[in-house]
Structure formats: C-alpha cells, structure tokens
Structure 1
Amino acid sequence: MHDLHSERMSGSETRAAGGLAMVFAFRMLGMFMVLPVLATYGMDLKGSTPALIGLAIGAYGLTQAFFQIPFGVISDRIGRRPVIYLGLLIFAAGSVLAAGADSIWGVIAGRVLQGAGAISAAVMALLSDLTREQHRTKSMAMIGMSIGLSFAVAMVVGPLLTRAFGLSGLFLATAGLAIVGILIIAFVVPSSAGPLQHRESGVAKQALIPTLKNPDLLRLDLGILALHAILMASFVALPLALVEQGNLPKEQHWWVYLTALLIGFFGMVPFIIYAEKKRQMKRVLVGAVAVLMLCELYFFEFGTSLQALVIGQVVFFTAFNLLEASLPSLISKVAPAGGKGTAMGVYSTSQFLGAAIGGIVGGWMYQHYGLSGVFIGCAAMALLWLIFAVNMKEPPYVTSLRLPLSAASLQDVGLVERLMAEPGVADAVVVADESAIYIKVDTQQLDRPSLDRLIGSAPVMS
C-alpha cells in the first residue's frame, strides 16, 4: 500500500486551497489597508477626533467578533457558500458606505458593517469540506500565509492608493476586492458534496465550555487579544509619529512599512525553525513578547527621529510576525483531541476583540495623553501578556489526526484506553456521529503501523 501521507494534493484540492486563500487575502487586504492611513488622512473628515479615528480603526473587530462563530454555525445548516456570498456582500456594502462618507461617523458605520461580514469560520469549514485529511494542515498553512502576505501588501498599497485616490478611493477598491472574492468562490473554488461535520475546522457545541475552561488555551486567547490590541493602538500612533517626529509626509509612509515588513518577515524565520525543531516554543514566545514590550518603550523614549522610528518598526514587525505565526500553531498543539476547530473559533473571536479594544483604547489614549500615552499603554499591555506567558507550560509537540472508524471499532469500548498506552499518543477521543476518532500524536515517538493495526484499518481517505 502506498503511503497516503506522501501523496500530492489533487487538482481540485489545490484549486480549493488557492482560491479560498485568495478570498481570505482580498478580504483581509480590505480590512488592513486603512490601518496605515486612517490616522493621518482621517483627520480631514468632518467631526474627526483621535478617539473617533481609533474607533474607526477598531470598529470592524466588534462586529467581526460577534458574528464570527454564529456565521460558522449557520454555514453548517444552510451550506458554506450562501454564508460566504452574504458575508462578502455585507463587507462590500460596508466599504461603499465608508467610501461615500464625508464624516468620521460615516466611516465608523462602514467599518462596523464591513466587520459584520464575518466569513472566516465558514471559509475554513469549506476548506475542510474540499480537502482530504492529510492535506489539511498544508491548506490551512496556505491560508495563514495569504493572511500574512495580505497584511504586508496592505501596509504598502494602502498609503499608495490613498495618495492617488483619497480615502474614498481606498474604500471603493476594498469593495471591488470583495466582489472579486465572490467571483473566485463562484468560478474557481470547486463545489463540495455538502457540509462535513468536522471538529478540526468547525465549532462543536459540546467542546465550547471545556475550551473556555482550559487555562492553557485561555492564556493563548489572551495573547492574541493583546497582540492585536497592541497592533491597532500602535497604528493610531505610529503614522502620526512619522509625520510629527520623523517629518515624513504621509504620502511617503509606504516605504517605511515595506522596509519594516520585509526585514521583519525574513527576521522571524530562523526563530520559527528554532522553536519547532528544538522544541523551544515557550522560550521563543516569551522572548518575542518581551521584545514587543521593549519596542513600545523604545518608541516612547527614542522615537523622535525618522531613523529611530524605522529601526523600531523593523524590530516591532519581526516580533509581531513571529507571534502571529506561532500562536495558531500553539493552539493546535494545546487543544484537546477533536477540539481544535472550537479552540480556533474562540481564538479568532479573541483576535477581533483585541483589534476593537486596541483601536478604541489607542485613540482615547492619544486624545488624552498624546503619542507617549499610546506607547506606554501598549507597553503595559505587553507586560500584562508577558506575566501570563511566563507561566505557560511548554506545549506538547503533537500533531492532530482524524481517522475514520469501522462499525466494529466504534463498538470497541477499550479502544481509547489501548491507544493511550501506545508510545507517542497524547490524547484520543471517539466521535460516534462522525464515525471517526481524533488523536493527538508526537510524530517523533509514534509507531504508525502499530497505530493503524489498533484502529483496525489502514488509514482511509476521509
């Protein structure tokens, strides 16, 4: 029997993963492009104050956090595509509303509506419907990379687009991207047989309470909340610091972000490799949080020249990219067997909540205490996170498997116990209504043939 794990992704799986990664990227591009420009260009809008600019930056996070899990659950009922189409249309409508606005309140309303098109859970679920087990991690990684890339592109393209077409042109471009997303779902992404009930990608109601009670998962949820709060608050202050302290006209900010993101992206790679290969994830995470805190203190103390601000941002984005990439991988290691989808749902909700808090608090801090108030506030958030992160346990270095079970294996009451006795098996749970077993394994210790014999089946494609 040839090893399924070395088998290549089929054409339709590649189309599904590539198409959905593009939909994700376009939507995120629309969310992020306003970050580097709203603080500088938004001051020209009627009724604008720094606190309201902060609200406009973070407002999408509130509705995104609120609708994220419900939209995922509805997509289990009525199918993924209708939910994704609806979400993208709501997002486009929010962009058009913001484009037509001449006051800051109109932009805030547009951002709130943009966030209400919360499709991430439905997109992830559709990806699971369209890819086989052994390629799922690869597909999820493609989406992760597309989000990272869209963030980098947004930071550079946002200022360039706004320079050419103003804020309303930027929001119209965002609406256009959402329409392209709809076309990709309609014509590129293959159709699926229907929603699969799948605990690695969707939120399972049974797993919700245990997830909310798990201290290790909550620590990571707090981490992503703090990371995005710090990011959004920093972007109330950094564009203004570049203008006020660095004497850099807002039309030229794009090259600062391009430099910082490029160096930051390549700078994080060795740390990611070290964390995974040497199994030092905790050390790398704690170090990156400490660096983030030091960056904010550095901006507060030394961020008075363009050169200092550029150096600070390079280091900031190295730490930010490293944390953004390692937290989801920690969630999948720490989540109990069969609980990864639910853990990721709560994690995403925390991320959007963090974005909302960061924008709102950052704008308020700037209005009352100026740039230094925002940097000190961000350093305080990072310190709080550091205190929680230092106490985390070294995560288990495990991978999740989902294997189909035969009717006979489903009846086997001692199966989980025998599996848990196998070297390398950290956790196992049978989900009868999916006729499947979820297992967390340490691949360095696992004897795969012996595992397959125990389950009574060579791994079948799911």
Structure 2
Amino acid sequence: MPKPAKLSLNPSERRASVCLAGLFAARMLGLFLLLPVFAVAAQSLEGGLDPVQVGLALGMYGLTQAVMQIPFGMASDRVGRRPVILFGLVLFIVGSVICALSESLFWVTIGRAVQGSGAISAAITAWLADSTRPEVRTRAMAMVGASIGLSFAVSLVLAPVLVGWGGLQGLFWVIAGLGGVAFAVAAWVVPVVPRDTHAPAQTGTALEVLGHGGLIRLNIGVFSLHLTQVALFVVVPPLLVQFGGISADHLWHAYLPVILVSFLLMVPIVFLTETRRMHVLTLKLCVMLLMIVGAGLALATSGWWSLLFWLTVFFVAFNVLEALQPSLVSRIAPPHMKGLALGVYSTTQALGLFLGGALGGWLARAGGPESVFWAVTILSTVWLVATWSLKSPPMVQKATVATEHP
C-alpha cells in the first residue's frame, strides 16, 4: 500500500512556491511603491497639478492589465509559463524606464500603460498551480497572498525614503531594478515543471470560461474583493490621520502591525481549511466577515482603536480570500483552460482595482466615508448571494498523489 500523502509541501513544491511568491512580491512592490507618494511627487512634473491626469496615470496600469491578462493567460497555456512571464517582465522594465526618463505626466502615463501591458499575474498563478498538488495548493497560494500584503507594508515604509533620496525618477529606477530581479528569478531560479501529458493539447475558449458557473462566481468574488480593498483605502488613511494624530508619512505605524497580526490569524484558518477540506465554506464565512466589517466601520468611525480593529478584521478576511479564490479557480477549471481561466480571473481583479478607486472617490465626495462603508456591506451581500450555490471541487484521490510524490 502506498504511504498516504502528507499535508505539507515537498521540497520541489516549497522551492517553487517560495520563488514564485518572491517573484510576485518584487513585481507588486514595484507597483505599490507609487501609491503612498505619487500624488504628491507628481507635482514636480508637467501636468502634475491636475488630479484627473494624476488619477489617469495611476489607473492606466490597471486598465492595460485588464486588457492583456486573458491574452497572456492563453499564451501561457500554449507556449509555457516561463517565456510568457519573461516577456511580460521585459515590458514592465521598459515601462518603468520610460517613466524614469519622463518629465511630463503624459509620458509617465504612457510608461504606466507599458508597465501594465506585461500582465503576468495569471501566468504566475497558473505556474504555481502546475507546481503543487491540489491538497496543498491553498497553502502555496497563501504564500503569494502574504507576499502581496507584505509588499504593500514595505512600500509604505520605503516609498517616502526613496522619493526623498532620488525623487520620482529615482523611484521609477528602483522599480525597474525590481523588475530586473523578478526577471532573474523567473529565468534561473524557479524550477521547471513538466507539462501535463494527460491534458488535452488545446486551449479553452473565452466562451467556455465565461459560461462556467463556478468560475463566474469566483470572478465576481475577486472583482468585489479588490474593489472593496481600493475603495476602503480611499477613505481609511485620512481617518487614521485624523483620529491618530499622525502625519501621512507615519501611516506605516498603523498598517504594519495590522498586516502582521492578520497574517498570524490567517495561518490557522488556512491550515484548518486544508485539513478539513472546507474551502467553499471558509470562502462564504470570509465574505460574511466582510459584510460585518463594512457595517462595523460605518457604525464605529469615531476612534483610532476601532478603525485599527476593523482594519485588522478586514485583512484577515482579505488574506484568506486571496489564498482561497485562485486555488479554487485552479481546481475548478479544466486542465486545458487553466491559464485562460486564471487570465479572466486576473482581468476581473484588475477591473475591481480600477473601479474601486473611481467609485470610492465618488462615494466619499458624495456622502463621506460612511457611504463607502455601507457600499462595501451591500457589495459583500451581493457577493455572498452570488457565491452561495458554489460547489466544492472534487477531491483528488490520495493513491494517485502518493504515486506521483512517493
């Protein structure tokens, strides 16, 4: 009798997970470094005093990401993950260099469009899914989710320092360097994963993915999650400054402990979800938690500690969902359209990021922070209703796993 598979990453899975999480982190850090400082630092550029142009420069990245995720996901199914990711990183580096050499916001916007056109999130996630067994995949995805949150925390500390050192141009040169680091990791460090010889030799079509009930529900989920994230961060930082009596360059004092505590709370939840195989149930519970967070923030926006508490609860749910949802996409999608399915998933994610900023700003101006918080509650309720009929994917036979990983 084969030995039962253990619920732990084997050495090959661990290496691939750490490398791909690091690759994701380096690229996301290059994106996040702009968020805390761009609106102020861009004032030194031609056109930088126009908030519409500033918003367009920031949002252009998300728009081109949304357009290119599906083509990059389909290409990764056909020619492999590594070459597609390397090409996308070259575009990211070229766009960063264009931004670093620009003296007007117009050319920064062009550079941001080039940066975003290297849309490799789906290919990276598919590569991670290829490299791990289904029963440990959520843990591997959690590494990527943790790396994203950690990158955001690091960016809040580093961005003001880097801008003070080299200005906005210097910051873009650092971002280009991070793209180079990610390129080196993808080219020479991430282990090779043999192609699945049992999978059909064709890719899926967009209609197959868009007509798949389970994938539709997960796409609604990632859209709602990231729209919620950006909308909250339109209004939460000013409230932290107001109630905490701190300046904008010290906001990391609030963010860093919140993110670290949320990671510590996320780990046992992910472990329990894997061992009990309750992925869909955990997803629904986390969406309910987001509903509570929205209502809690709307009813308790009068103090520093209440904001920190609800922000911590939000990040617990956010980090768990960041791990669960791409794992479920990779499980539910048929093998021949895994990359395409993750491409559609990443496209809806990018659209959520873009619309979160636009709608969050509009709601905040029209009705104040409370209107944003109640909108989050309503959106999470709609998400829960849409997800309620989601079914758990079939389990993988342990004997097969044990044969592949003795």
**Structure 2 counterpart of 1:401:** none
Separation (CA, whole Å) in 1 of partners of 2:310 and 2:291: 14
Task: Work out the number of aligned pairs and report it.
Answer: 399
Taking structure 1 as reference, are residues 176 and 374 closer, same or farther at Cα in structure 2, changes over 3 Å only? farther
1:205 correspondence with 2:200: no
**Structure 1 counterpart of 2:122:** 121
Q: Is the 8 A contact 2:73 2:340 kept in 1?
A: no
Amino acid at match of 1:380: A
Measured after TM superposition, the shift of residue 70 of structure 1 is 0.9
Q: Is there any run of 5+ residues in structure 1 with no aligned partner, and where? A: 399-439, 453-457
Q: Describe how 1:344-355 pairs up with structure 2 within 5 A.
A: 344-355=342-353
Taking structure 1 as reference, are residues 231 and 30 closer, same or farther at Cα in structure 2, changes over 3 Å only? same
**Structure 2 counterpart of 1:95:** 96
1:256 correspondence with 2:257: no
Structure with a larger share of its residues in helix = 2
Q: Is the 8 A contact 1:25 1:147 kept in 2?
A: no
Measured after TM superposition, the shift of residue 351 of structure 1 is 0.7
Aligned-partner SS, 2:387: coil
Measured after TM superposition, the shift of residue 69 of structure 1 is 1.9
**Structure 2 counterpart of 1:170:** 171
**Structure 1 counterpart of 2:319:** 321
CA deviations on 1:152-171 (whole Å, 9 max, x unpaired) are: 23223334332343443333
Measured after TM superposition, the shift of residue 117 of structure 1 is 0.9
Amino acid at match of 1:385: S
Which residue of the other structure, out of 385, 388, 391, is the alignment partner of 2:380?
385
Measured after TM superposition, the shift of residue 381 of structure 1 is 4.4
Taking structure 1 as reference, are residues 358 and 52 closer, same or farther at Cα in structure 2, changes over 3 Å only? farther
Taking structure 1 as reference, are residues 174 and 36 closer, same or farther at Cα in structure 2, changes over 3 Å only? same
Q: Describe how 1:5-404 pairs up with structure 2 within 5 A.
A: 5-6=5-6, 14-39=14-39, 41-42=41-42, 46-127=47-128, 131=131, 134=133, 138=136, 141-163=139-161, 164-165=164-165, 166-191=167-192, 204-206=203-205, 208-244=206-242, 246-272=244-270, 277=276, 279=278, 280-281=281-282, 283-298=284-299, 302-303=301-302, 306-332=304-330, 335=333, 340-365=338-363, 368-369=365-366, 373=368, 376-377=371-372, 379-390=374-385, 392-393=387-388, 395-398=390-393
Amino acid at match of 2:119: A
Aligned-partner SS, 1:262: helix
Measured after TM superposition, the shift of residue 261 of structure 1 is 0.7
Measured after TM superposition, the shift of residue 294 of structure 1 is 1.9
Separation (CA, whole Å) in 1 of partners of 2:290 and 2:208: 27
Q: Is the 8 A contact 1:37 1:239 kept in 2?
A: no
Measured after TM superposition, the shift of residue 185 of structure 1 is 2.6
Separation (CA, whole Å) in 1 of partners of 2:151 and 2:383: 32
Structure with a larger share of its residues in strand = 1
Measured after TM superposition, the shift of residue 336 of structure 1 is 6.2
Separation (CA, whole Å) in 2 of partners of 1:314 and 1:44: 35
Deviates more, 1:81-90 or 1:373-382: 373-382
**Structure 2 counterpart of 1:455:** none
CA deviations on 1:231-288 (whole Å, 9 max, x unpaired) are: 1223333334444554421221111110111122223445445656384336513422
Q: Is the 8 A contact 2:128 2:140 kept in 1?
A: no
Amino acid at match of 2:204: K
Q: Is the 8 A contact 2:9 2:136 kept in 1?
A: no
Q: Is the 8 A contact 1:55 1:363 kept in 2?
A: no
Q: Is the 8 A contact 2:57 2:109 kept in 1?
A: yes
Separation (CA, whole Å) in 1 of partners of 2:369 and 2:98: 29
Measured after TM superposition, the shift of residue 327 of structure 1 is 2.6
Aligned-partner SS, 1:173: helix
Measured after TM superposition, the shift of residue 149 of structure 1 is 2.2
Taking structure 1 as reference, are residues 282 and 230 closer, same or farther at Cα in structure 2, changes over 3 Å only? closer
Separation (CA, whole Å) in 1 of partners of 2:261 and 2:8: 32
Measured after TM superposition, the shift of residue 340 of structure 1 is 5.0
Q: Is the 8 A contact 2:243 2:304 kept in 1?
A: yes
Amino acid at match of 2:178: L
**Structure 2 counterpart of 1:423:** none
Taking structure 1 as reference, are residues 307 and 393 closer, same or farther at Cα in structure 2, changes over 3 Å only? closer
Note the aligned Cα RMSD (angstroms).
3.9
Q: Is the 8 A contact 1:232 1:358 kept in 2?
A: yes
Q: Is the 8 A contact 2:145 2:319 kept in 1?
A: no
Name the structure, 1 or 2, with higher relative contact order (CA <8 Å, separation 6+): 2
Measured after TM superposition, the shift of residue 383 of structure 1 is 0.7
Measured after TM superposition, the shift of residue 342 of structure 1 is 4.2
Amino acid at match of 1:227: L
Measured after TM superposition, the shift of residue 211 of structure 1 is 3.0
Q: Is there any run of 5+ residues in structure 2 with no aligned partner, and where? A: none
Amino acid at match of 2:387: M
Amino acid at match of 1:317: F
Identity %: 37
Amino acid at match of 2:33: M
CA deviations on 1:21-43 (whole Å, 9 max, x unpaired) are: 32122112212233344456556
